[in-house]
Amino acid sequence: MSDDDFDVIVIGGGPVGENAAARTAAGGLRTALVEAELVGGECSYWACMPSKALLRPGHALAAARRVPGVPVGDALDAAAVLARRNGFTSDWDDSGQVEWAEGAGLTVVRGRGRLAGERRVSVDGRVLTASRAVVVCTGSVPRIPDLPGLGEYWTSREATAARQVPTSLVVLGGGVVGVEMAQAWARLGSSVTLVVSGERPLPKFEAFAGDLVVEGLREDGVRVVTGARAVGVSTTDGGTALELSTGETVSGAHLLVATGRQPATFDLGVEEFGFRAGEALPVDDTGRVSGVDWLYAAGDVTGRALLTHQGKYAARAVGTAIVTGAVDPEPWTTPVATADHTAVPQVVFTDPEVAFVGRTEAQAREAGLDVRVIDLDIAVAGSSLHADGYRGKARMVVDERKRTLVGVTFAGPDVAEMLHAATIAIVGEVTVDRLWHAVPAYPTISEVWLRLLEAYGL
């Protein structure tokens, strides 16, 4: 066996590729991890970690301000915040992650991988072979609209890695990246305008969540422009001007284009197997790519759930499926990412936070479920102690036939940690009658669970 022969080759060393590879290596398979940029991927260097590091100090300051008696300063120390962010990205140096990968038994191969025939991957001219499987975990890249005049702009990479606070910033797109980055930079002192094409940001969430986030952004001085599409861009002395469908022009020192992402299937050789560059690789629940029995994929590149935790879950399933050789395994077993269909949790790390799992009311009705929706303000002893003037809302979507939860949304300060209880209830198909016996500790924000069940009629 030569240095280029492996059992498994994983293309893409982001969080998902790392996990898939670690799983196959732990199962005794000789595994290569091919990475074109930094081992750790988008999440570690330009997404989850730096964005959360930029947001957290503003949340801590806002939380302190809501509790009289806590001494607080006037503003964040931006230099210290950016220095802490740099620490979380290891100054964009992946040697720690490479050390971890090698310690997990992986062979790290630097370079751009490309499918080069059956069970073969070329990496900058060198050809590797995989006796068992090739796993594509190449992630996603920003989707940039075709806007007349669009020249220099920020993507989430520049927005998370900026070395200085921009004096002003225009953010185009009201998805998760748009709202998180608008708040992070506003709280660090930038003058921010957020341009949203719909009625409110966060269109994939319950409407009340987007509305509460808008309130939070406006309190931080963000100008939120809704119902406006970008129609053109021009360069000004001090930066960039964005022309909107409403006739208005908004300008800032930088323009952040946050209009979504697309699967990184470019220059990957997928066409040879019947797929198109820029489109997601279709997979079954074990991660096997349709019609190619040795090819697997997981994470953003599959378009199933563009979230690190859910991609890592898919990676564990893929890794287990490859190691065990499972054929058509039962749902809810370890080689199968069954929860992707009904129980994907997500937190939007703005202040207020949005924590959502399962289906929104609209998605549940679209799926043909007979649902009942319970809405409540989060107003319990735990929330009033947590912060003066606590403002938050909760929604529980119940499948009336099974009397189980199919969706839960919390929006309010510090609701993220309440989400896992909802995920467990949905995955476990716990009935509301049994949930009644899961008593929330007093006085915590989780007491809202009791109020939701009371409002349901228990």
Ligand X SMILES: Cc1cc2nc3c(=O)[nH]c(=O)nc-3n(C[C@H](O)[C@H](O)[C@H](O)COP(=O)(O)OP(=O)(O)OC[C@H]3O[C@@H](n4cnc5c(N)ncnc54)[C@H](O)[C@@H]3O)c2cc1C
Ligand Y SMILES: NC(=O)c1ccc[n+]([C@@H]2O[C@H](COP(=O)([O-])OP(=O)(O)OC[C@H]3O[C@@H](n4cnc5c(N)ncnc54)[C@H](O)[C@@H]3O)[C@@H](O)[C@H]2O)c1
Would you state the structure tokens that stand for residue 40, as one six-digit string?
Answer: 């750790």
| Number of residues located near ligand X, criterion CB under 6 A | 36
Task: Find which of ligand X, ligand Y, none residue 17 binds, CB within 5 to 8 Å per kind.
Answer: ligand X
Nearer to ligand Y, 213 or 448 (CB): 213
Q: In the sheet that 254-257 helps form, which strands lie side by side, from edge to edge? A: 223-225, 191-195, 168-172, 254-257
Q: Among residues 185, 296, 349, 449, which is the contact residue for ligand Y, using CB under 6 A?
A: 349
Interaction between residue 178 and ligand X (CB under 6 A): no
> Could you give the string, one character per residue 21-60, with x where binding to ligand X holds by CB under 6 A and - elsewhere?
-------------xxxx---xxx---xx--xx--------
Q: Which of 8, 22, 29, 172 binds ligand Y (CB under 6 A)?
A: 172
Strand 107-110 relative to strand 31-35, pairing: parallel
- Cis, peptide link before residue 263, omega less than 30° from 0: no
Interaction residues for ligand Y, span 252-291 (CB under 6 A): 258-261
First to last CA, the chain: 65
> Which residue number, 27 or 260, has a Cβ lying nearer to ligand Y?
260
Segment contacting ligand Y by CB under 6 A, of 175-183, 213-221, 365-373, 384-392: 175-183
Say which entry of ligand X, ligand Y, none residue 309 contacts (CB below 5 to 8 A, set by partner kind).
ligand X
268 lies in the site for ligand X, by CB under 6 A: yes
What sign results for the dihedral spanned by CA atoms 89, 94, 97, 99?
negative
Minimum gap (Å) between residue 158 Cβ and ligand X:
11
Among 89, 262, 310, 346, binds ligand Y (CB under 6 A): 346
Of the candidate spans 182-190, 230-238, 301-309, 394-402, the one that interacts with ligand X by CB under 6 A turns out to be 301-309
CB neighbours of residue 276 within 10 Å: 10
**Which of 139/440 has CB closer to ligand X?**
139
Give yes or no for residue 160 binding ligand X (CB under 6 A).
yes
Instruction: Choose, by CB under 6 A, the member of 62, 306, 354, 396 that binds ligand X.
Output: 306
**Is there binding between residue 176 and ligand Y (CB under 6 A)?**
yes
Of 9-17, 244-252, 289-297, 332-340, which part binds ligand X (CB under 6 A)? 9-17
Half-sphere exposure of 136 (CA within 13 A, CB side): 32
Of the residues 7, 14, 59, 150, which one makes contact with ligand X according to CB under 6 A: 14
Q: Is residue 137 involved in binding ligand X (CB under 6 A)?
A: yes
Q: Give the x-and-dash track for 80-119 against ligand X (CB under 6 A).
A: --------------------------------xx------
Q: Of these partners, ligand X, ligand Y, none, which one is at the site of residue 15 (CB under 5 to 8 Å by kind)?
A: ligand X
Nearer to ligand X, 150 or 182 (CB): 182
Q: Which of residues 194-233 bind ligand Y (CB under 6 A)?
A: 197, 203, 229-230
Binding-site partner at residue 106 among ligand Y, ligand X, none, CB < 5 to 8 Å by type:
none
Task: Pick one of ligand Y, ligand X, none as the site partner of residue 16 (Cβ within 5 to 8 A by kind).
Answer: ligand X
Give every CB contact of residue 407 below 8 A, 6+ residues apart in sequence.
Answer: 356, 357, 358, 359, 360, 361, 363, 364, 395, 396, 397, 426
Q: Which does 391 bind (CB under 5 to 8 A by kind): ligand X, ligand Y, none?
A: none
The binding site for ligand X (CB under 6 A) comprises: 11-17, 34-37, 41-43, 47-48, 51-52, 112-113, 137-140, 156, 160, 177, 264, 268, 299-300, 306-309, 311
The binding site for ligand Y (CB under 6 A) comprises: 145, 172-178, 180, 197, 203, 229-230, 258-261, 306-307, 346-349
